[in-house]
Amino acid sequence: MRAADIQNDLTDVLVTEEQIREKLDEIAAQVAEDYAGKELLLVGVLKGAIMVMADFARALPMHAPMDWMAVSSYGASTKSSGVVQIRKDLDTPLAGKHVLIVEDIIDSGLTLSWLLENFESRGAASIEVFSLLRKPDAAKVEVPCKYVGFDIPNDFVVGYGLDYAERYRNLRDVAVLAPHVYN
Ligand code: 5GP
Ligand code: MG
Ligand code: MG
């Protein structure tokens, strides 16, 4: 597939590679300050968070071990049901760790709210959330998210880790997927 064909699948670019890089530097500086002297553990949620984790971790001027969780929502609906199944659990025990969950996007908030509840019982010293993107108009539950990159409109977006049918994760920017792709 040619690059021009991929461009035809997208409408607006909402966040550029450059804007992401600047924002990650800003948030990394804040996190380094907030977690100075603490044992930080970054927890990424596969697969959407791979790009943001890779760039964010490299922007952090401190030790930042990573662990990964893979979850999926049950149900026939394309929308998040809030009923979550663990596909891959963490390798690391959370006891005593200052956990920062790294997410690509908060849409309904249901997945993250389930994850936070699940983590509460594992004895972490603290649990906070960093999400690169958030759709305030799509929220079904309030999720306490300490660090947010960009609030975006309630459109289906792809790129920078976010997929549609496993495609578009490798785009450098975050863009709105054109309706002709899924209609
Ligand atoms: P939530 O439980 O907050 O509704 O969303 C859970 C997951 O749905 C996100 O982590 C993400 O993987 C996926 N998701 C939500 N909104 C979008 C979107 O606009 N584009 C893509 N590609 N995935 C999304
Ligand atoms: Mg995600
Ligand atoms: Mg997906």
Q: Counting atoms of ligand 1 from 1, which one is nearest the CA of 138?
A: 4
| Predicted local confidence at residue 183, as pLDDT | 85
Q: Where are the domains of the chain?
A: 18-155
Q: What is the DSSP letter of 138?
A: G
The CA-atom distances, in angstroms, between 8 and each of 4, 163, 181, 182 are 6, 16, 9, 13
| Predicted local confidence at residue 80, as pLDDT | 64
Task: Provide the phi-psi class of 83: left if phi over 0, else alpha when psi is between -120 and 50, else beta.
Answer: beta
User: Which mutation among 14, 107, 140, 173 tests ligand 1's pocket best, with the greatest number of atoms within 8 A of CB?
Assistant: 107
| Predicted local confidence at residue 3, as pLDDT | 87
In the chain, pLDDT over 70 holds for what percent of residues?
Answer: 95
The mean pLDDT value for 127-141 works out to: 96
**DSSP-assigned beta bridge partners for residue 70:** 46, 88
Answer whether residue 1 shows pLDDT above 70: no
Does ligand 1 come within 6 angstroms of the Cβ of 175? no
Ligand 1: distance of its center to the CA of 94 in Å?
A: 25
Q: Residue 52 contacts by C-beta under 8 Å, 6 or more apart in sequence?
A: 20, 24, 44, 102, 103, 104, 132, 149, 160, 161
| Predicted local confidence at residue 81, as pLDDT | 67
Does ligand 1 come within 6 angstroms of the Cβ of 9? no
- The pLDDT confidence band at residue 77, using thresholds 50, 70 and 90, is low
Rounded CA separation 164/179 (Å): 12
Which single residue is written with the structure tokens 């309030």? 142
- pLDDT tens per residue across span 96-128: 999 999 999 999 999 999 999 999 999 999 999
Strand ranges for the chain from DSSP E: 10-15, 40-46, 66-73, 84-88, 98-106, 126-134, 147-151, 157-158, 174-177
Rounded to two decimals, the pTM is: 0.94
Report the top-level CATH class of 18-155: alpha beta
**DSSP-assigned beta bridge partners for residue 10:** 177
Closest residue CA from atom 10 of ligand 1 = 105
| Predicted local confidence at residue 84, as pLDDT | 87
DSSP helix/strand/coil, 12: strand
> Mean pLDDT score of the chain, rounded to an integer?
94
Which single residue is written with the structure tokens 């495609």? 167
Q: Counting atoms of ligand 1 from 1, which one is nearest the CA of 79?
A: 4
Ligand 3: distance of its center to the CA of 98 in Å?
A: 27
Does ligand 1 come within 6 angstroms of the Cβ of 108? yes
Does ligand 1 come within 6 angstroms of the Cβ of 15? no
Answer whether residue 60 shows pLDDT above 80: yes
Ligand 2: distance of its center to the CA of 46 in Å?
A: 7
Answer whether residue 42 shows pLDDT above 80: yes
Catalytic residues: 107
| Predicted local confidence at residue 75, as pLDDT | 55
The CA-atom distances, in angstroms, between 49 and each of 3, 14, 159 are 23, 18, 11
Q: Quick one: which of 123, 135, 62, 138 has its CA closest to 93?
A: 123
- pLDDT tens per residue across span 157-182: 999 999 999 999 999 999 999 999 98
